[in-house]
Amino acid sequence: MDLTQNLKNVKLKIESAAKRAKRDPGSVKLIVVTKEADAEAIEKVVKLGVQDLAENYAQQLLQKSKVIKDVHWHFIGRIQTNKIKYIVPICEYIHSVCRKEELIIVDKIASEHKKAQKVLIEINISHEETKSGIDQSQLEEILKFGSSLKNIKIVGLMTMAPFTKDFEQIRLIFRELRKLRDFHRKVYPELYHLSMGMTNDFEVAVEEGATMVRIGRAIFKGE
């Protein structure tokens, strides 16, 4: 497994996709998902210049963040309210917020740690029952509520596309997220990030405006 080459390949694909969309490749943040990687492999990608890592589970986040230092951690998994107290002290960004109850607890814990927690709201654009996230119609309400909390900064939106080879369907979902962001940003200017795109569809995501792509398998398994 050649992590150096895998990482290089992913970066080249991001750069090419950005150029196709007439975007600055530097406007896309590569977030390396460490869910299936051990500490040795993670340390190697950090030495190769990766600065942003993401975890799906609070327990894994706790364990890995004790070993892997001087990086920006992101939480991208389904949120359990009783685990928020572990996530907030470690993470710069929490991508998967989709309930007011989560925002309230994040705000409380962030206050205790004297930080403004950056969060993204997860939208279930494809309306798949297996995926978490709010409906597009609920976004206005949660943005309004989140903006009233002192220790929360809602800085973007997140989505997951269906696992399909129909890239036009995927493209439409990513485009819808971008339109949502652009529409609501008129009122909420901090709503900048689009966290969308994983190993199987990140090039389409970059073409459609992703500012963050969440990639694990392409780097650690060469898929």
Tell me which residue of 53, 38, 40, 25 sits closest to 215, measured CA to CA: 53
Q: Is the dihedral of CA 87, 92, 94, 100 positive or negative?
A: positive
pTM for this predicted structure: 0.95
Angle formed at CA 132 by CA 79 and CA 148, multiple of 5 degrees: 65
| Residues 157 and 194 sit within 8 Å (Cβ to Cβ) | yes
| Residues 121 and 103 sit within 8 Å (Cβ to Cβ) | no
Calpha distance 12→4 (Å, rounded): 12
| Residues 151 and 110 sit within 8 Å (Cβ to Cβ) | yes
Q: What does the CA dihedral 92, 98, 100, 104 come to, rounded to 10 degrees?
A: -20
**pLDDT tens, the chain, 223 aa long:** 699 999 999 999 999 999 999 999 999 999 999 998 999 999 999 999 999 999 999 999 999 999 999 999 999 999 999 999 999 999 999 999 999 999 999 999 999 999 999 999 999 998 877 788 999 999 999 999 999 999 999 999 999 998 888 899 999 999 999 999 999 999 999 999 999 999 999 999 999 999 999 999 999 988 7
Q: Which CATH class is domain 3-220?
A: alpha beta
